[in-house]
Amino acid sequence: MTIDNVLTIIKNIIDIGIVWAGLYFILKSIKNNVKFTMLFKGIIIILVIKLISDLFDLTTIGLLLEYVIMWGPLALIIIFQPEIRSVLEQLGRSQLLGRHKVLTISERERIVYEIGEALDYLKKHRIGALIVIERDTSLSEYIERSKKLYADISNELLVAIFFPDNPLHDGGVIIQGDKITSAGAVFPTTVEMKFSKRLGTRHRAAIGISEESDAIAIIVSEETGRISIAINGDLNYNLSVDEAKMLILDELKPKKSSEFDIEESKDGDKDE
pLDDT in tens, 38-56: 777 778 888 888 888 888 8
pTM of the model: 0.63
Could you report the per-residue pLDDT of 121-172, keeping only the tens digit for each?
Answer: 999 999 999 999 998 888 888 998 899 999 999 999 999 999 988 888 889 9
Range among 67-76, 114-123, 187-196 rated most confident: 114-123
Q: What is the mean pLDDT of the chain?
A: 82
Could you report the per-residue pLDDT of 114-135, keeping only the tens digit for each?
Answer: 999 999 999 999 999 999 999 8
Q: Return d(Cα 156, Cα 268) in angstroms, integer.
A: 28
Whether 127 and 220 have beta carbons less than 8 Å apart is answered as yes
Pairing of strands 216-220, 172-176: unpaired
Please report which confidence band the pLDDT of residue 210 belongs to, taking 50, 70 and 90 as the band edges: very high
Residues 185, 188, 191: CA angle, nearest 5 degrees: 155
Give all domains of the chain, ordered by start, each with its CATH number.
3-93 (no CATH), 99-252 (3.40.1700.10)
